[in-house]
Amino acid sequence: MIKPSKTVANLKPYFFAGLKGKLADLAERGVDVIRLDMGSPDLPPADFIIDKLVESARNPKKHGYSPAGGTPEFLKAVSTYYKRRFNVDINPATEALGLIGSKEGLFNLNHTLLDPGDMVLLPDPYYPVYLAGAELTGARYHFMPLLKKNNFLPDFDAIPEDVAREAKIMWLNYPNNPTGATADLSFYAKAVAYARKYDILIAHDAPYCDLAFGDYIPPSILEVEGAKEVAVEFNSLSKTYNMAGWRIGMAVGNAEIIRLLANYKSQIDSSIFAPIQDAAVVALTSDQTWLQNRNKIYEARRDVVYQGLVDAGFEVDLPEAALYLWAKLPKGFSDPVNFCADLLEDTGVSITPGVIYGPSGADYIRISIVIPTDQIAEAMRRIKDWVEKQR
């Protein structure tokens, strides 16, 4: 029998892929399942984005291979977006790269830069792709705990000197998944200075930068002077424009990293369907005011979840951005995996155990806000009633 490589054999299945079977079983049994686990937006893109996709798809010349790494029009649109949104200048020819969703870029960066034994600095909790990508290269990793007492920001001073000197990549992600935490420019300035000191590449994952509430406006790490020397930022249209299934994103920043990543990608994919890129151009460069109303919907959902969690005895902060609430289990509960499994079986409400994001999530659960508000309210009612019955 043909055996997999050792790295693949030891790779843990992606949590949400494994959850699919359990959800299907519950649905077959007639259970009314409410999913608060994944971060896939339920709202559609603006009509003008869809109209552009349809128009472009009807063009018979748009169905062949598109340029690897993105069309010139898409890359220019990325540059326009970064200038308008962050006042950051991006050279579309050398500092921007189209991605088939930012997830593949995050994964592929590991294979672009890492050799077996190289060191990676990972936030804990983390987006699972950071760890999986590092493990499949045979790299070593050091966790940077994201703790409530530090506002879920890493403490660079706590990283051992020998680890810092070995490190090749540092992963950062703000607004953060799963904690919902945010970072300001003073933090990014510290990160850039640290990366310069130890010759580390910062890989900043920023797909939630346009999902913010109230008056808060998330910055880009590239706003820091000199950041391009040590940083590349991953962004996506998945969450900002409700285009998760369209699979289009971008990497921007350090020109040499962009060149290396583009070269690696050229061996494994053939770019993005041209009509999707045309629609992305419209999304990035046209009227953005519809996002404000969309964010107000998310904000209302966030408030429902927050109050429901507080009422059920969870310890939780009110996030200023992203699509998640990160809540510490109520007193009397200690295992988030069992908590989530039992809750799902008994109530049909699916939430995510925090431990799948790393050791620091051992007492936490994550709830997403990407289903209709009335369903969220019903889910919170079920959670509260269930928690009270367990006591």
Q: pLDDT tens digits, residue range 152-186?
A: 999 999 999 999 999 999 999 999 999 999 999 99
Q: What pLDDT score does 324 carry?
A: 98
230, 142: one domain: yes
The answer as to whether 108 is a domain residue is yes
As a whole number, the mean pLDDT across the chain is 96
User: Which pLDDT value is given to residue 4?
Assistant: 85
pTM of the model: 0.95
Write out the two tokens for 89: 């200048």
pLDDT at 12: 73
How many separate domains does the chain show? 2
Phi-psi region of 2 (alpha: psi -120 to 50; beta: other; left: phi over 0): beta
- 252 vs 79: CA distance, rounded Å: 9
Q: What is the pLDDT of residue 6?
A: 79
Sign of CA dihedral 293, 294, 298, 304: positive
Grouping H, G, I as helix, E, B as strand and the rest as coil, residue 192 is helix
113 and 250, same domain (yes or no): yes
**38 plus 114 within the same structural domain:** no
147 and 273 co-located in one domain: yes
Which pLDDT does position 151 carry in this prediction? 97
301 and 201 in a single domain? The answer is no
Of the given ranges (12-16, 78-82, 164-168, 312-316), which has the lowest mean pLDDT? Answer: 12-16
pLDDT bin (cut points 50, 70, 90) of residue 329 is very high
Give the N- to C-terminal CA distance of the chain in Å, as an integer.
Answer: 50
Q: Does the pLDDT of residue 27 top 90, yes or no?
A: no
pLDDT surpasses 80 at 213: yes
Q: What is the CA radius of gyration of the chain?
A: 21
Look at residue 11 in the predicted model and tell me its pLDDT. Answer: 75
- Contact indicator for 234, 249 with CB cutoff of 8 Å: yes
How far is residue 369's CA from residue 372's CA, in Å, rounded to a whole number?
Answer: 8
Average pLDDT over residues 120-127: 98
- From residue 53, alpha-carbon distances to 60, 72, 245, 264, 275 in Å are 13, 17, 13, 28, 5
Q: Which domain holds residue 223?
A: 63-285
The predicted structure's pLDDT at residue 369: 98
Tens-digit pLDDT profile for residues 341-371: 999 999 999 999 999 999 999 999 999 999 9
Higher pLDDT, 14 or 268: 268
- Least confident piece of the model among 8-22, 47-61, 213-227: 8-22
pLDDT for residue 73: 98
Contact 127, 119 (CB under 8 A): no
Q: Which residue has the higher pLDDT, 11 or 344?
A: 344
Average pLDDT, integer, range 43-70: 97
Q: Which of 229, 255, 285 is the last residue before a domain boundary?
A: 285
Confidence of residue 8 (pLDDT cuts 50, 70, 90): confident
For residues 100 and 184, membership in a common domain is answered with: yes
118 and 247, same domain (yes or no): yes
pLDDT at residue 17 tops 80:
no
Binning pLDDT at 50, 70 and 90, where does residue 143 land? very high
DSSP designation for 357: G
In a domain, 1, yes or no: no
CATH code of the domain containing 111: 3.40.640.10
State CA 355 to chain mean position distance.
17
pLDDT score recorded for residue 367 = 98
pLDDT of residue 22: 85
> Within this chain, do residues 114 and 142 fall inside the same structural domain, yes or no?
yes
pLDDT tens, residue by residue, 250-276? 999 999 999 999 999 999 998 899 999
Residue 51 lies in a domain: no
Q: What is the band of 1 on the pLDDT scale with cuts at 50, 70, 90?
A: confident
Q: Is 324 helix (H, G, I), strand (E, B) or coil?
A: strand
How many C-beta atoms lie closer than 10 Å to residue 132's C-beta? 16
The residue among 217, 192, 214 whose CA lies nearest residue 87 is: 217
Residue 274 lies in a domain: yes
Asked if residue 233 has pLDDT above 90, the reply is yes
Burial tier of 378 (Cβ tally within 10 Å: 0-12, 13-18, 19+): middle
Is 98 strand, coil or helix? strand
Based on the domain organization, do 99 and 245 belong to the same domain?
Answer: yes
